[in-house]
C-alpha cells in the first residue's frame, strides 16, 4: 500500500513517545505529555487499521465486479488479469453473456489509486446499463460516453475497448474509445491492429464512434491491454511499448489463453524489474481453441 508518508509520520510519533518515558517526566506535566502522545499514537494506529480494512474490502468489491480470470465461451478461452499499483485499480474487465453474443469491456480510468478505483464501479455500471438497451458496440460506447460527460467536470477521462463476440461464428464487432488498439495475431502469423472507434470517454458528449468487425478463426489470438502495459518503464526509462508487446505476443505462441497471458505478463514484469509498477495493468487474451477447457 502506498502510505509511505503516513507511515513515516506514525514512526516519528512512536519515536517521540519512546524517547519520553514516564520516569523522565519528574512532574505531572511530563506524565501528562507522555500520556497524551501515547493516546495520539493509539488513535493513529486505529485509524490506519480501519483504513487498511476498508481498502481491502474495496479491492474485494472490484474483484467481484470483474470477470473471473479464466472463462470459456464455446470454443473460445478468455483469460484476464489486473495488477494494481495500489489496493484498488482504475482498470476493469467485464464479460456479460447476452442473447446477441458475449459483451467484453476493458475500461481504464485516467489516474490511479482509490480515486480512480471509485470510478470503475460507475463506468462498469454504465456499460451494463447500455448493454441492456443495445447490442451494438458503438451504440453502447456512445451511451457510456454521454453518461460520463454528464458527470463532468468531476469524472476523470477514461478509455474503453468494448466488443461483442459471437462464440458460435467467431464474429467480433468492436469499438474503442481512446483505448490502445487490440492486437489480433492470425494463425498464419499476420498481425492486425483493432483501432476503430473514437475519442476518450468524457471529452465530447456528442462524439461519434465507429465500429469495426473481424472474424476470429482457429488458432487466432486476440490481445487487449490497458496502457499500463505499454507504458511500463525499465531502469533506463525506456517504455515497454507497442513493438515489444507485439514481439512477446508472437513469442507466446500457441497454447492455452492462460499460458499465453502469463507469458506476456512475465515479459513485462521482467522488463521493468526491479522498478515498481507505476500504473495499473490489465491484460486480456482470447484464443480460438481446438480443445475447450472442459475437454482437457
Look at residue 121 in the predicted model and tell me its pLDDT.
Answer: 87
Report the pLDDT averaged over residues 209-217: 97
Report the pLDDT averaged over residues 1-6: 44
Q: Which of 59, 85, 103 is the last residue of a domain?
A: 59
Same domain as 88, residue 123: yes
Same domain as 245, residue 107: yes
- Least confident segment among 93-97, 142-146, 288-292: 288-292
Same domain as 272, residue 148: yes
How many structural domains are present in the chain? 2
Same domain as 82, residue 26: no
Residue 241, phi-psi category: left (phi > 0), alpha (psi -120 to 50), beta (remainder): left
Same domain as 110, residue 244: yes
Report the pLDDT averaged over residues 19-30: 59
* pTM tops 0.85, yes or no: no
Look at residue 295 in the predicted model and tell me its pLDDT.
Answer: 47
* Nearest in space to 216 (alpha carbons), one of 184, 247, 179: 184
Look at residue 4 in the predicted model and tell me its pLDDT.
Answer: 46
Same domain as 55, residue 82: no
Same domain as 84, residue 109: yes
Domain that holds residue 20: 4-59
Grid coordinates belonging to 168:
458460435
Cell 468531476 sits at which residue?
154
Could you give the CA distance from residue 230 to residue 48 in angstroms, rounded to a whole number?
34
Same domain as 178, residue 46: no
Report the pLDDT averaged over residues 267-287: 92
With a cut of 90, say whether residue 32 has pLDDT above it. Answer: no
Cβ(223)–Cβ(284) below 8 Å: yes
Look at residue 38 in the predicted model and tell me its pLDDT.
Answer: 81
Same domain as 187, residue 143: yes
- Least confident segment among 13-17, 29-33, 168-172: 13-17
Look at residue 203 in the predicted model and tell me its pLDDT.
Answer: 95
Same domain as 221, residue 122: yes
Q: Average per-residue pLDDT in the chain?
A: 85
Q: Which of 13, 35, 59 is the last residue of a domain?
A: 59
Domain at 226, CATH number: 3.60.40.10
Report the pLDDT averaged over residues 195-199: 98
Cβ(141)–Cβ(153) below 8 Å: no
* Sign of torsion over alpha carbons 274, 275, 277, 283: negative
Report the pLDDT averaged over residues 99-114: 90
Same domain as 77, residue 199: yes
Grid coordinates belonging to 278:
507505476
Same domain as 115, residue 39: no
With a cut of 50, say whether residue 2 has pLDDT above it. Answer: no
Band the pLDDT of 26: cuts 50, 70, 90.
low
Look at residue 252 in the predicted model and tell me its pLDDT.
Answer: 86
Q: Which of 15, 31, 59 is the last residue of a domain?
A: 59
From first CA to last CA, the distance across the chain in angstroms is 39
In the chain, the percentage of residues whose pLDDT exceeds 90 is: 61
Report the pLDDT averaged over residues 134-159: 95
* Sign of torsion over alpha carbons 88, 89, 91, 95: negative
Amino acid at each position: 500500500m502506498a502510505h509511505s508518508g503516513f507511515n513515516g509520520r506514525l514512526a516519528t510519533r512512536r519515536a517521540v513517545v519512546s524517547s519520553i518515558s514516564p520516569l523522565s517526566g519528574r512532574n505531572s506535566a511530563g506524565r501528562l505529555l507522555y500520556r497524551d502522545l501515547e493516546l495520539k499514537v493509539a488513535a493513529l494506529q486505529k485509524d490506519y487499521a480501519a483504513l487498511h480494512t476498508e481498502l481491502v474490502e474495496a479491492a474485494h468489491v472490484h474483484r467481484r465486479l470483474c470477470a473471473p480470470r479464466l472463462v470459456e465461451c464455446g470454443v473460445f478461452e478468455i483469460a484476464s488479469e489486473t495488477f494494481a499499483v495500489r489496493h484498488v485499480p482504475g482498470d476493469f474487465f467485464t464479460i456479460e453473456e447476452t442473447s446477441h453474443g458475449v459483451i467484453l469491456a476493458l475500461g481504464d480510468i485516467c489516474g490511479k489509486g482509490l480515486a480512480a478505483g471509485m470510478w470503475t464501479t460507475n463506468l462498469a455500471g454504465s456499460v451494463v446499463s447500455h448493454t441492456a438497451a443495445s447490442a451494438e458496440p458503438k451504440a453502447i460506447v456512445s451511451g457510456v460516453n454521454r453518461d460520463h460527460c454528464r458527470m463532468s467536470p468531476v469524472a476523470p477521462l477514461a478509455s474503453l475497448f468494448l466488443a461483442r463476440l459471437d462464440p458460435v461464428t467467431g464474429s467480433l464487432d468492436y469499438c474503442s474509445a481512446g483505448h490502445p488498439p487490440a492486437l489480433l495475431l492470425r494463425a498464419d502469423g499476420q498481425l492486425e491492429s483493432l483501432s476503430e472507434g473514437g475519442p476518450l470517454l468524457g471529452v465530447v458528449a456528442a462524439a461519434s464512434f465507429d465500429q469495426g468487425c473481424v472474424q476470429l478463426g482457429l488458432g487466432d489470438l486476440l490481445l487487449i491491454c490497458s496502457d499500463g502495459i505499454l507504458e511500463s518503464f525499465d531502469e533506463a526509462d525506456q517504455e515497454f511499448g507497442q513493438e515489444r508487446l507485439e514481439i512477446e505476443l508472437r513469442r507466446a505462441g500457441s497454447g492455452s489463453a492462460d499460458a499465453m497471458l502469463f507469458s506476456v505478463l512475465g515479459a513485462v514484469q521482467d522488463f521493468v524489474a526491479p522498478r515498481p509498477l507505476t500504473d495499473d495493468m490489465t491484460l486480456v487474451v482470447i484464443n480460438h481453441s481446438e480443445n475447450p477447457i472442459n475437454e482437457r
